Structure formats: C-alpha cells, structure tokens
Structure 1
C-alpha cells in the first residue's frame, strides 16, 4: 500500500469521478498528491514490490524454493496473489544490474584487504634469491637499454611492499608482461604482416576476423598487459551476463514451443515459464556474485571453503531447477521427461554459450 498523502480534492485526476476513500471506484487510481520529493521515485518503486500483503516475499519464496509453482498458478488464472512475471523479471534485473554497478567485479575472488594473503611474510630481498627470480633480474642488469617489457616489470615490482611473498613477485613477473611479447594473432605479430597475409589469401570470414585482429594489434601497441586483458574481459563478460539472458528470453521460449504440443501449449505459456526461470537465474547469479565478493572481504580459509561450497551448490541447483520446473509445469512423465528436459537443457546451453561468445567478442572490441 502506498503511504502517499490523500488529496483533499475528491475528484479523480485520472477519470474525473468522485473518490470517497483512497482509490477511485471507477478506474482504481489512488487519489494521492501528485507532487513528491525526488526520492519518492525509488521508494515507490520498491514499495510496489514489498508492500504489507507480502505479495513480493511470497513470490520470491516460491520462485526460489518451489520450481514451476509460480508458472502453474499463473497459467491457471490465479494472478493476484503473486507478482506478475514481466514485472518480476524487470525488478530482479534492476536489482542485479544495480548491485553489479554498486559492487564492481574487480575484487571478486581476490582479497580486498591491503594485507598480503600469506601470513608468513619474508623480506623481499630474501625472496629474490630464488633461482627463477634471480635469473630474471640478472638478465635485466646486463642490458644497457631496457625493453618495454623490462620497464613494465621493474615498474610493477617497485610497487610491491618489502614483505611481499614469492608468489606476489612471480605473479607480477608473469601477469605484467605486455601482451605483444607473449601473444600473436593467427601466428602474426604485427598488423602489417597480418594485413599482408590476409590480402594474399582472402577468406569469406574476413569481415568478422579482421576487426578482431586489428583490435588485438591496437591493444598490443598500447602495451596492455595480460593481467589487464584478463581482468577487463572477465569483468565485461560477467556484467554482460544479465544482458545475454534478456536477449535470450524469446529464443528460450521458442525452443520450448518446438518440443511441446502446439494445441495444448501456446507460445505465451512458454514465455511465462521462461520469465520465471530467468528471474530465478538472475537471482542465483546475484547470490553467487555477492558470495564471491564476500570471499574476498573475509579471506579466512575455512569460511572461504564453506562459501565456495555454497556457490557450487547454487550453481548445481540452478541446473536441477530447470528439470524440476519443466516436469511440474509440462506434466511429462518418466523417461520422456528426462529426454525432453535433457535435450532442451543442452540445446539451450550450447545456444546460450554461442550468444555469450558473441557478447565476449563485442566486449573485446570495446576494450581500450
């Protein structure tokens, strides 16, 4: 229920009828003041989902713990007790995107604390006696003119604390190398050599491959490190996951439509199932994301193991959820349920991976 102030004027602003109480008997609009503070835009949005009658919390409980129940109830025509599927999906998407923006992914799975992870700290100079590390530094010392890679290496090592561990040093030596010293594109190390070879032996896929190659060589020229490349790609891919789910909604429903009787099940019915299932997936993605952030903040061995275990259980549950929901909604039995459910699951899995690959390539093209 809204907590907006009731207007003294009893004429409905929407249809002009007289309003004796809070809601207009003709159109149902609430007769409250139309001017509000700015924060009302957000409080009203949340309030619509969490008002006193528990509609949202009941929807959330059944969505997470009772696969297929919300879809069955909605298709039976009982649509007042729970949040409508479209409204639910939009709200869950909003919360997921908001949390991703509020808590950047850059620290997921890594320590957010300034202290080193290893409790046994030793002096950096002692760790430099390691044969592998010492060999690198001896090689650098013998050079009169340092290469770009060596300069990057020394620059990043200088940022380490005096109590840095060997793992910290080795990670810096490996991950802070510029990608132009470690990678090539189809065996070519420069844009010029690649373009020359592409001109001599053109392919029908050049319209897709050439932009990727040119972007790769552009990043090489800028000296992007492997660490930066991996981090940026991982972050963009994870943030694109909710977008990929949204784009995949109609295709997922289409696959359901193909595998079930057209006279009994309309495309609309499959759409309702899809909206509920994808709302569930978004919530699971959000929970796993938040648990991942928590592992970085806590950084305690036993507790982190427990958190990773919970994350694994959630991932497995998200897969089992589909089979349970499909069985309960479409009322398939025995081996037929397993065959149809399994076929749909793997068909959608590979199709969705294809979509994610496309989004990853788009993300790569947007790196700078």
Structure 2
C-alpha cells in the first residue's frame, strides 16, 4: 500500500469526482499529494507489485512451484488474482538486468599484470641477450691483449649467467606452453592475422569469409596480451549475460512453435503468448538465482561444503527448468500424458537448439565489439 500523504481536498486530481476515502471510486486514482520525494519514483513501482494484498508474492510462489497454474487461471479469465504476465515479465527482466549490471560475472581486459610472455616478448629477450653477448665477445676480441685474468674471469662469469638466464627463460616458456598460458594458437594453419589473410587469399571460400572477422578479433585480443583461456571465458560471460536479451527476442518465436504444434481452433496465438511469458519469467528468475549462486560461490570458494552444495544447486535448477516445461505444458494444454510428452519433447528440443543458436549469435556479435 502507498504511504503517500492523503490530500485534504477531496476532489480527484485525475477526473474531478469526489473522493470519499483514499481511492477515487470513478477512476481508481489515489488521492495523495502530487509532490513527493525523489525516491517515490522507484518505491511506487515496487509498491505496485508488493502491496498489502500479496498479489506479487502469490504470483511468484505459483510461478516457481506450480508450473502452468498462472497460465491456466489467466486463460480462464481470472485476471485480478495475480500479476498480469507482461507486467510480471518486465519486472523480473528489470531485476535480472539490474543484477547483471551491478554484479558482473567476470572482469577481463582491465588489467593484465600477470599475462604470459608472448612470442614477441620471447624474441625481444633473445635479441637482447644476443646483442649483450656479441658486445662482450667483441670487446674480448678487440682488447684481447689488454684483458687481465681477473677481467677474463668476470666476462666468463657474465657469459655463464646470460646462458643460464636464457635456459631458464626457454624452460619457463615451455612450461607456459604446456599449461596453456601462452598458447601459440593455430587457426586454419595460421598463427596470426597476417598468415590467416594469406591463406584466405589463396583459398577464398564462404566459410573463410564468415569466420574471418572472428579470427581477426581473436588474434587481435591475443596480441594485446589476453590468453586463449581468458578469451573463451569472456565469450562465456558475454553469452550468459545475453540470455535475458535472447529470451526477449525469442518470445514470439517460442509462441509460434507452440502455435504450430497445437489445435489452431482451440488455441489462439494469444494463448501461447501467455504461456511463453510465464515460462520465460520463470527462466529469468532461475537465471537470476544462478547469478546469485555464482557470486556466492566466489565468496565461499574456500569452504568446500558450501562449494559442493552450490554445484549441486546448479544441476538441480537445470533439471527443474527442463521438467518445469513438461509439467506446465501438460497442465495448460490438457493433452494426454504420452501425447503431451511427445509434443513437449519436440517443442523443447527444437526451441533449445534454436535458442542456443540465437545466444551464440548474440555472443559472437558482442565478441566482435570487445575493445
């Protein structure tokens, strides 16, 4: 319920009718003072969902634990008991996007103090060592007659130290390669963008033309000091963050697949849209919970018991999300158990692969925009 101060004037500011209590019986507007503190802009939005009759909390409870109930009740015409599907989806989307912006999963690209030595760095070290050694050897030849035994011993010691350092550097680079720290990645036989362009010029094809921007971006990130492991982690992060956007884009497609697989006379596209909004609201809620678990796991990663429990939670949520669809589909469309399962099976896997394709596509587009 709103906590705004009631106006002494009982004339409704919206329609001009007399307001006997708090709300106008003609238009429904609350008769509170129009001037409010700044935070009212946000608290009023929250209050619309969490007002005293518990509409929001009942909606969330049924959304999470009673698959298909919200859709069935809404399609029966009982539309004042729970939050409307569009309003619910928008609110949960807002919470999900807010969580992702406030607590990003990973931060790459801002700091690379511990990046592995690149091939360029190795060549640079080798050339410095070679120049230093050449200068010392040149000095020995030039001043051979004037060099004392002490100086000869010192020079020999320097040469020995340089040789040991070179060996240690080579060994370190080999270990880095073995552990994937400084991978000399080969893509289509190329180790860098220049070599790749040369290969594409010799063998132009549609596949090369499609992959070329992504390969160039990959080598660009590699040359900037980001390891292959970090690049793939960043691609994973981008794809996870794109899930809410992908769900929003995929809404009408998901409803369209439902429309294809069900009786056109009995079920309208509108009905499938309501089912889709409720199911996607559930998925967004699960994504938000997973995001919270990921951050919690980072905080308690030194406590093995909690770490294991959170890992188990990921699997439970994933399995529940799959089962949720089949249960909701059966309850809403009232089809025979086996028929419902077969239709649900085809719908789930067609949508799963189509949605994965969309997420990967959005991830690759975002990948190209990394700076």
User: Per the shorter chain, which TM-score range?
Assistant: 0.7 to 0.9
Q: Quick one: distance in 1 between partners of 2:4 and 2:276?
A: 35
Whole-Å Cα distance in 2 between the matches of residues 31 and 86 of structure 1? 27
The answer to whether the aligner puts 1:315 opposite 2:338 as a matched pair is no
Aligned equivalents of 2:82, 2:164: Cα separation in 1: 70
Aligned mates of 1:204, 1:228 — CA distance in 2: 28
Which residue pairs with 1:336 in the alignment? 339
CA gap 1:196/1:29 in 2 versus in 1, 3 angstroms? same
Cα deviation, 1:141-180, whole Å, max 9, x if unaligned, reads: 5429969x95xx9xxxxxxxxxxxxxxxx89983542xxx
Rounded Cα–Cα distance in structure 1 between residues aligned with 2:222 and 2:92 = 39
After superposition, the C-alpha distances for 1:48-87 in whole angstroms (9 at most, x for unaligned) are 1111101011001100110000000000000001000011
Give ranges in structure 2 of 5+ residues lacking alignment: 108-160
**Are 1:41 and 2:41 an aligned pair?**
yes
Query: Counterpart of 2:218?
Result: 216
1:232–1:367: 8 Å Cα contact kept in structure 2? no
The alpha-carbon deviation at position 192 of structure 1 amounts to 2.3
How far, CA to CA, are the matches of 2:347 and 2:162 in structure 1? 56
1:92 alignment counterpart: 92
TM-score, normalized by length of structure 2?
0.78
1:356 counterpart residue number: 359
> Counterpart of 1:261?
263
Worse-superposed segment, 184-193 or 74-83: 184-193
- CA displacement at 1:104 relative to structure 2: 2.2
Q: Deviations over 1:284-314 (max 9, x none)?
A: 1111222222222123222322222222111
> Aligned match of 1:326 in 326, 329, 334?
329
Which digits, 9 at most, give the CA deviation of each residue in 1:179-215, with x for residues without a partner? xx42133221222222233233322355532221221
RMSD value over aligned CA atoms? Answer: 2.6
**1:305-341: per-residue Cα shift (whole Å, max 9, x none)?**
2222222111100000000000000001132111101
CA distance in 2, matches of 1:106, 1:38: 33
- 8 A contact 1:185–1:216 mirrored in 2: no
1:248 corresponds to: 250
Hey, what does 2:186 align to over in structure 1? 184
Taking the aligned partners of 2:13 and 2:310, their CA distance within structure 1 comes to: 52
Task: Report deviation, 1:227.
Answer: 3.9
Which residue is 1:203 aligned to? 205
1:305 counterpart SS class? helix
TM-score, normalised on structure 1? 0.79
Give yes or no for the alignment of 1:284 onto 2:286: yes
- Per-residue deviation at 1:8? 2.7
Q: What is the match of residue 295 of structure 1?
A: 297
- CA pair 272-140 structure 1, distance change in 2 beyond 3 A: farther
The answer to whether the 8 Å contact 2:330/2:337 transfers is: no
1:36-185 pair list within 5 angstroms: 36-106=36-106, 141-143=164-166, 174=179, 176-177=181-182, 181-185=183-187
Distance in 2, Cα, partners of 1:234 & 1:204 = 26
What is the alpha-carbon distance in structure 1 between the residues aligned to residue 310 and residue 9 of structure 2?
Answer: 56
Q: Structure 1 residues 9 and 207 mapped into 2: Cα distance closer, same or farther (>3 Å)? A: farther
What is the number of equivalent residue pairs in this alignment? 316
Note closer, same or farther for the CA distance 1:140–1:334 as it changes in structure 2 (3 Å cut). farther
Structure 2 match to 1:121: none
Q: Is the 8 A contact 1:86 1:275 kept in 2?
A: yes
Q: Distance in 1 between matches of 2:205 and 2:9?
A: 73
* Deviation string, structure 1 residues 115-159 (Cα, Å, up to 9, x no partner): xxxxxxxxxxxxxxxxxxxxxxx9995429969x95xx9xxxxxx
For structure 1, list consecutive stretches of 5 or more residues without a partner in the other structure.
Answer: 108-137, 154-169
